Amino acid sequence: MTSSNNNYTPPSEEILIHRVIEGDSSREDWLALEQLADGDRCVWERLARTLQVEAELRRDGKHAVSLADHIELTSEISAPRNFLPRWAGWAAAVVLAAAWVVGSFSSDSGDPRNEGSLPASETQTADSAYMQYIQKGISEGRILEELPRVVMETRPAAKGDGVEVLYVRRLLERTVVDQFFQAGSDDQGKLTPKPVPMTRFVDYGSF
Amino acid sequence: MEREPLDIIWRKERRWVASVLLAHMPPGADLEDLLQEVALALVRHTDEVRSRDNFRPWLRTVTLNIARGAHRQEQSSLRRKERSLDPEAREVADQRPLREQEAKKARQATANTLKKIEELPPKHREILLLRCVNGLSQKRIAKILGLPETTVESRLARARRKLRATLSTVQAVPVHDEGQPHDQ
């Protein structure tokens, strides 16, 4: 925005003040401002006042827009879109479905790698262990349901064959507690759990 | 388009979206409600964005439409308390619980900000908030608003002068209206 040539035409006072605030003034701009101030000493006062009101606006404005930090998109809806092509969601769903079917049946369906002397817990796949966890959790009333998986990213597989899918598995679980704690510190500054009154959570339907 | 999760993109953009809303929303509107509506629109219509370059101007247009919608609602004399947010918006846009103290502070700051800029035309409010509050460069503002950088500079200069004139009780600086050679 600055200029340093012989054809310099002094801009208006508001532009000069603006450039000073932006830290964008050329030597010519400063000279022009000084010349203006020679005829009207209030120029410096107006510059100072502009800086002051802007600082006030910045302080309040930053607080105000910080409200936006509390508005989140739910990952369930936002993540699968991810600016991927429209078909990518379907492709990811197919990949996940395939992985699910393969994962569910492969570990216990005659895979010779599962036969041997090691206990089942050491030979089962992550998928079958996960399924067992869900089944056990449901039977105990701890797991309410498995929520739809969230695709975080799809990208070409490193070996150049297929698509690598990064996704999150989510379980809705329930537990009953008789006390909440938060991290606190004692007189010596040592980290200690501090009980939180249960009444504080009564009003929350969900977090 | 860049393969970045939408929620990450939202976190990067949401503060300047709040500024655009502040600049254009009617005085009685609730900033949080409008932000949630923008978040919902973002999730619903992202597919319409063809390239990364177009994303911010598109998001600003969406934000402006929502602010204008709030004006229309106000004009049709719907009381703000009766205006219920689209139920789907509640599902899409989660609002993290604000501590009461924190919320009070932010709302007070919103009221203070609106009071400071209320005398300015919306286009000056917007540019001033984007630069001073969000710290966006003039170049980036020019891209978002689809304006030449020279126009951004002159508009920002004028907005600063008007703000000073509006808030100044001691200083009496004449505030000229539009039509100066720098503004395009």
Q: Which element (helix H / strand E) includes A170? A: strand A163-173
CATH number, span B119-184: 1.10.10.10
Give residue B121's pLDDT.
93
* Residue of chain B whose alpha carbon sits nearest to that of A76: B92
By the 8 A CB rule, do B141 and B152 touch? yes
How far is residue A182 from each of residues A173, A186, A193, A197, B62, measured CA to CA in Å? 21, 13, 6, 10, 41
Give residue B35's pLDDT.
92
CA dihedral for A119, A120, A122, A123, sign (positive or negative): positive
- Reported as a pLDDT band with limits 50, 70 and 90, residue B22 is very high
Tell me the C-alpha distance between A36 and B19, whole Å.
34
A57 touches chain B (CB under 8 A): yes
B112 touches chain A (CB under 8 A): yes
- Reported as a pLDDT band with limits 50, 70 and 90, residue B94 is low
Beta partners for A151? A167
Interface predicted TM-score of the whole assembly (ipTM), two decimals: 0.76
- Reported as a pLDDT band with limits 50, 70 and 90, residue B101 is confident
Three-state DSSP at A185 gives strand
Is the pLDDT at B131 greater than 60, yes or no? yes
Tell me the C-alpha distance between A28 and A10, whole Å.
8
Give residue B63's pLDDT.
95
Q: Tell me the range of A58-72, A110-124, A176-190, B131-145 where mean pLDDT is highest.
A: B131-145
CB pair distance less than 8 Å for B158 and A84 = no
What would the mean pLDDT of B19-34 be, rounded to a whole number?
A: 90
Give residue A138's pLDDT.
86
Mind telling me how many Å the CA of A172 is from chain B's nearest CA?
Answer: 17
Copy the structure tokens of residue A195.
């009980």
Give residue A125's pLDDT.
83
Is the pLDDT at A98 greater than 90, yes or no? no
By the 8 A CB rule, do B93 and A68 touch? no
CB within 8 Å of chain A, chain B residues 28-87:
31-32, 35-36, 39, 42-43, 46-47, 49, 52
CB pair distance less than 8 Å for A73 and B7 = yes
By the 8 A CB rule, do A196 and A181 touch? yes
3-class SS letters over A107-168: CCCCCHHHCCCCCHHHHCCHHHHHHHHHHHHHHHCCEEEEEEEEEEEEEECCCCCCEEEEEE
- Helix count and strand count (H, E) for chain A: 7, 5
CB pair distance less than 8 Å for B180 and A12 = yes
Residue type, A97: A
CATH 1.10.10.10 segments of chain B = 119-184
Tell me the C-alpha distance between A98 and B41, whole Å.
32
CATH 1.10.1740.10 segments of chain B = 1-103
A84 touches chain B (CB under 8 A): yes
Give residue A194's pLDDT.
74
Q: Which of B15, B37, B50, B114 to mutate to test the interface with A (most CBs of A within 10 A)?
A: B15
Q: Tell me if the domain spanning B1-103 has CATH number 1.10.10.10.
A: no
Tell me the C-alpha distance between A114 and A66, whole Å.
54
CB within 8 Å of chain B, chain A residues 92-151:
none
Give residue B173's pLDDT.
41
CB pair distance less than 8 Å for A53 and B116 = yes
How far is residue A93 from each of residues A90, A148, B50, measured CA to CA in Å? 5, 10, 23
Give residue A38's pLDDT.
92
Of the listed ranges A29-38, A87-96, A192-201, the one predicted with least confidence = A87-96
Give residue B65's pLDDT.
93
Of the listed ranges A60-74, A77-91, B78-92, the one predicted with least confidence = A77-91
Give residue B149's pLDDT.
94
Is the pLDDT at B142 greater than 50, yes or no? yes
Give residue A6's pLDDT.
64
- Reported as a pLDDT band with limits 50, 70 and 90, residue B174 is very low
**How many Cβ pairs within 8 Å bridge chains A and B?**
186
Average pLDDT over chain A, rounded to whole? 72
pLDDT tens, position by position, A143-191: 888 887 777 777 777 777 777 888 888 888 888 877 777 777 777 777 7
Is the pLDDT at A100 greater than 70, yes or no? no
The whole-angstrom distance between residue A115's C-alpha and the CA centroid of its chain comes to 44
Tell me the C-alpha distance between A155 and A92, whole Å.
10
Is the pLDDT at A76 greater than 70, yes or no? no
Mind telling me how many Å the CA of A139 is from chain B's nearest CA?
Answer: 29
Give residue A199's pLDDT.
67
Copy the structure tokens of residue A13.
């006072």
3-class SS letters over chain B: CCCCCHHHHHHHHHHHHHHHHHHHCCCCCCHHHHHHHHHHHHHHHHHHCCCHHHHHHHHHHHHHHHHHHHHHHHHCCCCHHHCCCCHHHHHHEEECCCCHHHHHHHHHHHHHHHHHHCCCCHHHHHHHHHHHHCCCCHHHHHHHHCCCHHHHHHHHHHHHHHHHHHHCCCCCCCCCCCCCCCCC
